[in-house]
Chain A
């Protein structure tokens, strides 16, 4: 069966510091991968999605970037964190291949606090 991992689970970082959040998927190949951010008590905002290695689409201009160095690895990064980057970050996967299937499955999330 497929599983999705995220780490770290919790992170507290000072303003201006770099960020690296990692997401990996097991049990499937060539998944579509997604990064979402959720502010407290709010819905999800899609940040990035990827249909293959090195292929990243950005949905929202911001202080963050994403990379996909391996088929089942998706990384969210920032060179300098802002206070507004605080939130809950969720990674998700779906489908196989460049044509995505309809259902996304989510990882456990990372709670990021920028002080």
Chain B
């Protein structure tokens, strides 16, 4: 079965600095999708960024970018110029061959003003 591991339960960063959240996954699929979702205190799950495994180019969405290392099965999220509104739980997820999302346990990101 696929697994997704987020080894950092909590991370903190100074406002305007850069932070990287780690995620590793295990899959036997050759083609799959990876996601980062953000869950602020309101608890609504918000899509941050999406990566297609067959694409070598790392996905980027404004201040958010990923470092996708397919061979190492690593999918880290980099947040540049951190803002107070970035404070949230961040979940990494992969999609299996049945189109079901496999979720990591989450990383709580704290932004220090």
Contacts and interface: CB of A to CB of B under 8 A. Distances in A.
A105 B46 CA distance: 7
Contact of B47 (A59, A88, A105, A108): A105
A105 B47 CA distance: 7
Contacts of B105: 42-43
Interface residues of B, number: 20
Contact of B45 (A49, A90, A102): A90
Given A44-B103, A88-B43, A109-B44, A102 B50 contact: yes
Interface string A25-50: 00000001000001001111010010
B64 interface: no
Judged by DSSP, the binding face of B is strand
A92 B45 CA distance: 9
Interface in A60-115: 88, 90, 92, 94, 100, 102-109, 111
Contacts of B50: 102-103
A49 B50 CA distance: 21
B91 interface: yes
A43 B103 contact: yes
Interface in B22-76: 33, 35, 37, 42-47, 50, 52
A100 B35 CA distance: 16
Interface of B: 33, 35, 37, 42-47, 50, 52, 91, 95, 99-101, 103-106
Interface of A: 32, 38, 41-44, 46, 49, 59, 88, 90, 92, 94, 100, 102-109, 111
Given A43-B104, A43-B106, A44-B91, 5 more contacts: A43-B103, A103-B35, A103-B50, A106-B44, A109-B43
